[in-house]
Amino acid sequence: MTSGRIIFLNGTSSSGKSSIARELLDILNDGVFFHLAVDSFNAMRSKRELGAEELDATLRRTRMGFHRSIAAMAEVGNDIVVDHVLSEPWRLLDCLTVLPTEDVLFVGVHCPLDELARRELARGDRPPGLAAHQYDLVHAHADYDVECDTSTASPRECAQRIKEFLPHRPSPAAFTRLRRRYLTDSQEPPPAKHSLFG
């Protein structure tokens, strides 16, 4: 069975990942793609109040399960669009460990901080300052297959760029290069501050 392709969108909260993912599902016509978003996994959790320590452990398990769900869907041949925030080093390491690296197109979704703050305020459904907290963390590894800036290109334009790039994925792909850097060489990704959210 052929493994599915994984288009992995990484960026801060409010950077436009979900909008790009929706556009990708609309324009990708050479397979059946599924949008798996970390926010959707978080939303499945029961709503009872959790203490800080329990919440941290729960979020870590949620994200580990999310990563393995991506891997399981792709393993049986499904094509996936992933919407994630790699704001803690262990998240990237876990993805590099469980995902088939050469099947991943790693996409950096960028947006200037002032525009992120404006979007966050307009949305009203995110903790104030969340995007600013994540801003220097999510792209700290500094290696992608393709990148886009949602302040200068629409979600549709970003999706079109990704679609056109997909058949021309580099080899080794960014995930393979990052796995060699962080796992083969036993190095850690750049440090990130501990966070209970984002």
> What is the reported pLDDT for 186?
53
Mean pLDDT of 180-185: 85
Q: What distance lies between CA 92 and its chain's CA centroid?
A: 9
How many Cα atoms are found within 13 Å in the side-chain-facing hemisphere of 168? 6
**Helix 17-27 and helix 155-165, axial crossing angle in degrees, nearest 10:** 60
Q: What is the pTM of this model?
A: 0.91
- Judged by average pLDDT, the poorest of 49-58, 160-169, 183-192 is 183-192
> Per residue in 82-139, pLDDT tens?
999 999 999 999 999 999 999 999 999 999 999 999 999 898 888 889 999 999 999 9
Mean pLDDT of 136-153: 97
Q: Known catalytic residue: 39? A: yes
Strand partners, 79: 33
Residue 198 pLDDT grade (very low, low, confident, very high; cuts 50, 70, 90): very low
Kindly name the residue from 30, 39, 114, 143 that is annotated as catalytic. 39
Alpha carbon of 72 to those of 26, 67, 93, 101, 124: distances in Å?
A: 23, 9, 17, 14, 34
Mean pLDDT of 14-33: 97
Whether the per-residue pLDDT at 188 is higher than 80: the answer is no
- Higher-confidence residue: 163 or 125? 163
Look at residues 3, 6, 1, 2 and name the one whose alpha carbon lies nearest to residue 175. 6
